[in-house]
A and B are shown apart, each in its own frame.
Chain A
């Protein structure tokens, strides 16, 4: 079957680095997405990893290991505005829908 898992909550300090992990199990894996969702708002796209390795985009980086069924989102130089829920989602098979994790609620403290 299909399964995707990420921690429910994390806390970090302003200016620090935080890594949010996501593990998944599926057949026909195509790629792994990360989205950010602030409270009361719709999700916004952060990254899409298809191949193994690290992709950097400013303060945010995303890593994928297809063989291990593992991804992480790395947030550097944390700011208060980074307090949000971070959703990982996988795309598998020919179906266009994504399988969503339950989200990791990140609280950035001063």
Chain B
């Protein structure tokens, strides 16, 4: 149980385009999902908390107009990186929280912006 999928696993795009990443909890309902970013050999950095049916809560320093989060159902949250630039290239990972606050992670999405 507690499986989280993430799609796509790899994205290569041109600078200025937008990229959408989907995160799904496959066998449980998650009212709360989280989006993280991780640069090579660095720690996880929480970007935002995504709550079903309401606006996401962004961490300090994360631009909400650049990283659009939508949590339209209890099993799906999406992150859209708008007008992506090379500095947005990173490993993006989502997680879904169970009632006991245990976070189960998706496999991650590697974004490379050229």
CA–CA, A98 and B32, complex, Å: 12
Contact A98 B93 (CB under 8 A): no
B102 within 8 A of A: yes
Interface residue count on the A side (C-beta < 8 Å): 18
Interface residue count on the B side (C-beta < 8 Å): 18
A25 within 8 A of B: no
Number of A-B contacts (CB under 8 A): 42
Per-position binary interface string of chain A over residues 76-110, scored 1 when its CB falls under 8 Å from any chain B CB and 0 otherwise: 00000000000100010000111011110000000
A33 within 8 A of B: yes
> Which residues of chain B have C-beta atoms less than 8 A from A91's C-beta?
101
> Taking the nearest CB of chain B, how far is it from the CB of A86, in angstroms?
12
Closest to A40 in B: B91
> Taking the nearest CB of chain A, how far is it from the CB of B33, in angstroms?
10
A7 within 8 A of B: no
Q: Could you jot down 23 A-B contacts, CB within 8 Å?
A: A30-B101, A33-B103, A41-B108, A42-B93, A42-B105, A42-B106, A42-B107, A43-B93, A43-B105, A45-B103, A45-B105, A48-B100, A48-B101, A48-B102, A87-B43, A91-B101, A97-B34, A97-B46, A97-B49, A98-B101, A100-B43, A100-B44, A101-B43
> Which residues of chain B have C-beta atoms less than 8 A from A31's C-beta?
101
Contact A42 B34 (CB under 8 A): no
Contact partner, A96, options B101, B104, B106, Cβ 8 Å: B101
Contact partner, A102, options B2, B43, B101, Cβ 8 Å: B43
